[in-house]
Amino acid sequence: MLHLGSIGKTSIDVDISFLILVGLFVAINYDANLGIHYALLWIPVCFISVLIHEIAHAGMIAALGYGASRIILGGMGGATFNDRHAKPWQDLLISLAGPISNFALMLLCFWLYVKVPYIRQDRMLIALFPILIWANKAWAIFNLIPVPPLDGGHATRELFRTMLSERTAFIVAIWIAIVVGAGVVIYFFKEKQFFIALYLGWFVYMAWQQWEYFRQHGIPGD
């Protein structure tokens, strides 16, 4: 684990798995015609996009009065850890903060790309900014898919928790995850985006496992 530093009292660490993820993006996007320099742009793109996403989660947690968090960049993105006992509407805001930050970064990068002439004159920046714009849009939309552990999955359950009992909210949210998630997996298979389809398919399978566990044991508090 590599410790990058802290923002306020929120620590930021990088796991080796994140470096593997970044390497995978570099390999996938390597094009001999464009050269290795183009593929290497995915290193700052991945780091900036995921870090901003997790900082937004941590910032919302702090804004709601739950103090500092621990951010770990790892696995297939990142995670923000905080020992809190938040209300459903608060957890809903915390979940949505990440994707919203990526949309905001996308719009900021687009605005800079259009308004700042220097960016369109520098060879590195003119290649970097379109990738940053596209990546943050894609990362935000993907995270809003209502399948846990994606932010959309958490947000869906927290939304229903504000209106329904814990038990009913879980049932509604988990079936949304299974049905919508399966539909999105089929879409990605048709688009021949097999890696994303398998990745999301695993989340759908875990949602089904949660449903099976619920049928046998219920949820805490039942």
DSSP string covering 52-119: HHHHHHHHHHHHTT----EEEEETTEEEEE------HHHHHHHHHHHHHHHHHHHHHHHHHHHH-GGG
- Range scoring the smallest mean pLDDT among 53-62, 140-149, 211-220: 211-220
Of 144, 178, 206, the position where a domain reaches its end is: 144
Closest to 19 measured CA to CA, from 35, 43, 36, 3 = 43
Is residue 155 a contact partner of residue 92, using CB atoms and an 8 Å limit? yes
Mean pLDDT of the 155-174 span = 95
Q: What's the total number of domains in the chain?
A: 2
pTM: 0.90
The residues, ordered by sequence, that sit 6+ positions from 111 with a Cβ below 8 Å of its Cβ are none
**182 has pLDDT over 90:** yes
**What is the 3 state secondary structure string of 138-192?**
HHHHHHCCCCCCCHHHHHHHHHHHCCCCHHHHHHHHHHHHHHHHHHHHHHHHHCC
**Does residue 36 share a domain with residue 140?**
yes
**Does residue 129 share a domain with residue 33?**
yes
**Does residue 217 share a domain with residue 154?**
yes
**Does residue 137 share a domain with residue 45?**
yes
Q: In what order do the strands lie in the sheet with 77-81?
A: 2-7, 10-14, 70-74, 77-81
Eight-state DSSP code of residue 205: H
**Does residue 137 share a domain with residue 85?**
yes
**Does residue 196 share a domain with residue 124?**
no
Closest to 42 measured CA to CA, from 172, 130, 109, 113 = 130
Of 94, 125, 144, the position where a domain reaches its end is: 144
Spatial separation of the C-alpha atoms in residues 143 and 130, rounded to whole Å: 20
**Does residue 37 share a domain with residue 5?**
yes
**Does residue 201 share a domain with residue 132?**
no
Spatial separation of the C-alpha atoms in residues 155 and 153, rounded to whole Å: 5
Of 83, 117, 144, the position where a domain reaches its end is: 144
Mean pLDDT of the 87-116 span = 97
| Residues of the domain holding 222 | 146-222
Eight-state DSSP code of residue 120: G
**222 has pLDDT over 70:** no
Q: What percent of the chain has pLDDT over 70?
A: 98
